[in-house]
Amino acid sequence: MILYFVRHGIAEDWAETGLDQDRRLTERGRKRIRQCAQALRLLEIKPEIILSSPYPRAAETALIIAETLGAAPPVLKEQLQPDGANSHLLTECLNPEWQEVMIVGHQPNLSEYVAHLAGYGTNLIFKKGTVCRVEVQGEHGQVSWILPPKVLIALAEARQAKPAKH
């Protein structure tokens, strides 16, 4: 099984309501996530399910990725809210009917999930838009790659600059 952990894109510094939970992606954040999602499509990432924090910045990120990859709309999970990290969600994700699952959320939760699966400390850096691939066997996993947005965007831009072969 493969799990992809994705940190939400660049969000507003504050919401009109003053509540962190209401912050949305900025226009730049939406553009960068679209570019990152295009790179994921080039890498032939095909999650069977995308689970997302219900916070707008994460849900918007998940929806942009789902639309770009041609995946089903994301499923919002309260457990993916900031400070909502728990191993019960990972147990749910390790459902044998799925081969590829994408989880869109926040820091430090994402580092904690990867640490739980792969035995790393919680100091993994998830810049906004970073994607981490963890290959899981049983209850343990191994990080096969972690790509920051700059790398994903460079991949998408390089592909767009290169003419398609016929």
Q: What pLDDT score was predicted for residue 151?
A: 96
Q: What pLDDT score was predicted for residue 15?
A: 93
Q: What pLDDT score was predicted for residue 83?
A: 76
**Per-position DSSP letters for 24-36, written without gaps between them:** -B-HHHHHHHHHH
List the domain boundaries for the chain. Answer: 2-145
81 to 20, 77, 157: CA distances (angstroms): 11, 8, 32
Residue type, 140: H
151 to 57, 72, 158: CA distances (angstroms): 21, 26, 10
Q: What pLDDT score was predicted for residue 91?
A: 81
Q: What pLDDT score was predicted for residue 50?
A: 97
- The architecture in CATH of the region 2-145 reads 3-Layer(aba) Sandwich (3.40)
Q: What pLDDT score was predicted for residue 87?
A: 67
Q: What pLDDT score was predicted for residue 140?
A: 86
Q: What pLDDT score was predicted for residue 93?
A: 81
Angle between helices 56-69 and 27-42 (to 10 degrees): 40
Q: What pLDDT score was predicted for residue 33?
A: 98
Q: Which residue ranges in the chain fall short of pLDDT 50?
A: none
Q: Are 23 and 57 in contact (CB under 8 A)?
A: yes
What pTM value is reported for the model? 0.92
Minimal CA–CA distance to 75: which of 55, 93, 49, 46?
Answer: 49
